[in-house]
């Protein structure tokens, strides 16, 4: 019988049902599990537990296999929901209702349940029933149009902005906010988490600059989008790159000191018309040495110059090693739980489950733990 993962952290005692999916739902559930919550993921029959390289986003929880189209599977799910604090689902609007486990059904069984719905377009609006992905959600919010070099098409920024910045991070925020409110009212509620909404919040600072006339819609022409030569990346002699973020004047002075340049000999950094000439100076200089030599030269300064590392290099960087930002769990490198807490630190996550558990086992554990502090 699979044992429940060891859990420690500020959310210890919190019970979460996660309906299997991809993207921001499982990522948000991972973060909640990392902080100590008991997350039980519900998968469809036929789920493969013997994957050669496990998906570490599924770490720290148990898996129950249920056929939600059967009476038995539906009854098991609603029983779990009746004992849980939180349920996370990522179906299109109306699907959970048609299958018989929508918010009304679950909250009738458990008035304290926080029912979190993770979608791209949201539970309402003209596009609510349409398919989409991260790229589609960020394209409608203005975020995608702002990313990329001048004179080029928008750059695909991996799926960090919509799926995870606007999705899973906002999912966690919504769940925790509803739990705080529940501690006052005693009641759960439905949380409508839409990646378009979350991405819109993410870009609020840039939107504010735009509304104040301080941000151009032309890509690659602004201070924070690679337009400024003192906030950009540069190729070095070995073909690797540096990130230069010397925004403030005092940091810019340290950048120039490291490059052995005098400010009065350079184009004016405060005049955007002179940025191309200033960038040409930096480009020529950075190409004269390898990346790690530059990184070493600037490391003990406030010039805000750092190496652009790949994932394997990042795992070996001495700062991340010193903080254990990346950890090894049974031979698999992954991110450590974040943030960190002084009184209730999180435990090292357990690997993704390799066998199913049963609803009865979960309910027994939850009943045994029912004496924990109410949240």
The pair phi, psi for residue 154, each rounded to 5°, is: -60, 145
Fold classified for 241-307: formyl-coa transferase, domain 3 (3.30.1540)
Catalytic residues: 133, 163
Where does the chain have alpha helices with state H?
Answer: 24-34, 71-83, 95-99, 103-109, 134-141, 169-185, 195-202, 204-211, 249-259, 275-286, 291-298, 311-316, 318-323, 359-368
Which tokens in the block code for residue 229? 């030569």
Q: What gap in Å lies between CA 313 and CA 148, rounded to an integer? A: 25
Topology given in CATH for the domain delimited by 15-204+343-368? Rossmann fold (3.40.50)
Q: Check if 15-204+343-368 and 241-307 are the same fold.
A: no
Residue 89: strand, helix, or coil: strand
Between strands 332-335 and 326-329, the pairing is antiparallel
Q: Return the closest-CA partner of residue 29 out of 112, 101, 87, 102.
A: 87
How distant, in Å, are the alpha carbons of 112, 161, 269, 366 from that of 85? 7, 28, 54, 11
Q: Which two tokens stand for residue 139?
A: 């394209």
Provide the angle, in degrees to the nearest 10, between the axes of the packed helices 134-141 and 195-202: 50
Pairing label, strands 15-19, 38-43: parallel
Structural domain boundaries in the chain:
15-204+343-368, 241-307
Longest dimension (CA), the chain: 78
Which SS3 state, helix, strand or coil, does residue 234 take? strand
Walk along the chain (375 residues) and give the pLDDT tens digit of each residue.
566 777 899 999 999 999 999 999 999 999 999 999 999 999 999 999 988 888 999 999 999 999 999 999 999 999 999 999 999 999 999 999 999 999 999 999 999 999 999 999 999 999 999 999 999 999 999 999 999 999 999 999 999 999 999 999 999 999 999 999 999 999 999 999 999 999 999 999 999 999 999 999 999 999 999 999 999 999 999 999 999 999 999 999 999 999 999 999 999 999 999 999 999 999 999 999 999 999 999 999 999 999 999 999 999 999 999 999 999 999 999 999 999 999 999 999 999 999 999 999 999 999 876 644 445
């Amino acid at each position: 019988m699979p044992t429940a993962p060891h859990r420690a952290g500020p959310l210890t005692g919190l019970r979460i049902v996660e309906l299997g999916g991809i993207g921001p739902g499982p990522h948000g559930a991972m973060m909640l599990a990392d902080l100590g919550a008991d997350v039980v993921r519900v998968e469809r029959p036929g789920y493969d537990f013997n994957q050669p390289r496990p998906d570490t986003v599924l770490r720290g929880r148990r898996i129950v296999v249920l056929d939600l189209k059967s009476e038995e599977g539906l009854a098991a799910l609603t029983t779990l929901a009746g004992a849980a604090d939180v349920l996370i689902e990522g179906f299109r609007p109306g699907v959970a209702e048609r299958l018989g486990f929508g918010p009304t059904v679950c909250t009738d069984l458990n008035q304290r349940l926080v029912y979190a719905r993770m979608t791209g377009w949201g539970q309402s609006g003209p596009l609510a029933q349409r398919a989409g992905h991260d790229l589609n959600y960020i394209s409608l919010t203005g975020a995608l149009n702002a990313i990329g070099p001048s004179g080029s098409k928008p750059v695909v920024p991996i799926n960090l902005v919509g799926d995870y910045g606007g999705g899973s991070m906002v999912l966690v925020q919504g769940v925790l906010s509803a739990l705080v409110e529940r501690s006052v009212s005693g009641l759960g509620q439905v949380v409508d988490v839409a990646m378009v909404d979350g991405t819109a919040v993410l870009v609020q600072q840039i939107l504010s600059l735009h509304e104040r006339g301080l941000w151009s819609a032309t890509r690659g022409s602004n201070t924070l989008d690679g337009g400024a030569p003192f906030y950009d990346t540069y190729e070095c002699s070995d073909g690797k790159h540096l990130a230069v973020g010397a925004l403030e004047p005092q940091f810019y002075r340290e950048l120039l000191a490291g490059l052995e340049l005098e400010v009065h000999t350079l184009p004016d950094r405060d005049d955007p018309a002179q940025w191309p000439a200033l960038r040409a100076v930096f480009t020529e200089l950075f190409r004269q040495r390898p990346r790690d030599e530059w990184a070493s030269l600037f490391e003990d300064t406030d010039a805000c110059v750092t190496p652009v590392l790949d994932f394997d290099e990042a795992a070996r960087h001495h700062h991340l090693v010193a903080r254990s930002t990346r950890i090894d769990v049974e031979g698999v490198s992954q991110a450590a739980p974040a943030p960190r807490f002084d009184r209730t630190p999180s435990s090292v996550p357990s690997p993704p489950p390799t066998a199913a558990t049963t609803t009865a086992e979960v309910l027994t554990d939850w009943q045994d733990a029912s004496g924990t502090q109410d949240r």
